[in-house]
Amino acid sequence: MDLSGKTALITGASRGIGAAAARAFAQAGAKVALVARGSDAIAELAGEIGEAAVAIPCDITRYWEVEKAVQNCVDAHGGLDILVNNAGAIEPIAHLAEADPDAWGDVIDINLKGVFHGMRAALPVMQAKGGGTILTIGSGAAHNPIEAWSHYCASKAGALMLTRMVHKEYGEAGIRALSLSPGTVATQMQREIKSSGINPVSQLDWSDHIPPEWVAKTLVWMCGSETDDWLGAEISLRDESIRARVGLV
């Protein structure tokens, strides 16, 4: 996939899937805007990538910050063609009757409202340009209840509906919206899940998780017309046929 001349804004770019995606999009020729609360981490990554990258500290739970981040991306790179809604959280893991309401809401703010904020800020820019691609990191948790993950399951289900809404309202205007359910990935989030000791996911071995680079490579692939059959829907990286099409081994 050649993304030369394109610009991608990636949220949660300080580590894990986000950092891997930043490298993958840059390697594919795109200019990248790295968005995260961890300013030192994204500054270091931008330095590693080089002049194709700009670091933009931002709290995605605050719309005005996301709107400003998009504007900073446009100012730095001349536009915005691809949005990767990657930032996410799962802590604190807790059963409903013991969940702290404020902490529960914080996860909704990141995983659901943060996705909306990204879409809301990026859509006018993409519309003015005549098109764009919005990719959101989904989860099997959007489709099935998982013990002690009520906040995560609810937020991921909502984020998938937002993907469907973008396709419904802007698909004919050239906006491509897709969700990617990667399965379990070897990131800090899986360490948090492991330490909780709750539900079968926490019992998985580290070797059961795929590397974040697989997810990053798939996100780049999703920017091409080969994935148009999934517009407004979700691609599962658990599907061996998808892995084969992406070239993962």
Q: Active-site residue among 152, 170, 214, 221?
A: 152
The widest CA-to-CA distance across the chain, in whole angstroms, is 50
Helices (H) and strands (E) in the chain, counts: 9, 7
Please name which of 128, 141, 133 lies closest in space to residue 163, comparing C-alpha atoms: 133
Does the annotation mark 63 as catalytic?
no
Q: Is the peptide bond before 92 cis (omega within 30 degrees of 0)?
A: yes
Amino acid at 169: E
The backbone torsions φ and ψ at residue 108, rounded to the nearest 5 degrees and listed phi first, read -60, -40
DSSP string, 36-101: ES-HHHHHHHHHHH-TTEEEEE--TTSHHHHHHHHHHHHHHHS---EEEE-----PSP--GGG--H
- What residues are annotated to the active site? 152
